[in-house]
Amino acid sequence: MLYGEQPFAMAAIPGLDLSRLIALEVSPVLAKKVIGKEDVSVSAIIQRLGNSDWVRQGIRFLEHTDEQCPFCQQEIPHDFEKDLADYFDETFEADSKSVTDLRTKYFQLSDELLIQARGLLASECTHCWR
Ligand SMILES: [Zn+2]
């Protein structure tokens, strides 16, 4: 033998299947603008300021303030809480949940793929060091 060992057939390295990840990336809900109901009095300013997450988080403070604004402490209109509830209607909540679920799935799947990739690196590359 002139040049070391006989060449040998290497097992094909299985590819990573990214199809499920890619499928999530094109989910219709990602193309959707998740905003509240448009014909509610609070909707114009929320949409202009783009602060719907902030407002939504603040709603829980309203439950403890007896019609006082938790921010400026002035009295708030009686129907304000109802307006907010109307703005963040079922469609909004359902769409928000879809986005959150998708995010969770995406991270789970990426973690799985990362583990697979690390596994491949650890096992198959032993050939390369001969
Ligand atoms: Zn206020």
pLDDT tens track, the chain, 130 positions: 566 777 777 667 678 899 999 999 999 989 998 889 999 999 999 999 999 999 999 999 998 988 899 999 999 998 999 999 999 999 999 999 999 999 999 999 999 999 999 988 887 655 555 5
Identify residues whose C-beta is under 5 A from ligand 1, the ion. 69, 71-72
Same domain, 76 and 43: yes
Phi and psi based region of residue 120 (left: phi greater than 0; alpha: psi -120 to 50; beta: remaining): alpha
Same domain, 56 and 83: yes
Same domain, 74 and 103: no
Residues in Cβ contact with 57 at an 8 Å cutoff, skipping those fewer than 6 apart: none
Query: The tokens 């890619």 sit on which residue?
Result: 22
Q: What domain range includes position 83?
A: 35-88
Contact 87, 42 (CB under 8 A): yes
Hey, is 57 helix, strand or coil? helix
Give residue 69 CA to ligand 1 midpoint distance, Å: 4
Same domain, 72 and 95: no
Give residue 47 CA to ligand 1 midpoint distance, Å: 18
Same domain, 113 and 81: no
Element (H, E) at 82: helix 80-87
Give residue 71 CA to ligand 1 midpoint distance, Å: 5
Please name the amino acid found at residue 124: E
List of long-range contacts for 119-127, beta carbons under 8 Å, 24+ apart: 120/13, 120/14, 120/16, 124/11, 124/13, 127/10
Same domain, 103 and 116: yes
Kindly report whether the global pTM for this prediction surpasses the value 0.85. no
Q: Structural domain tally of the chain? A: 2
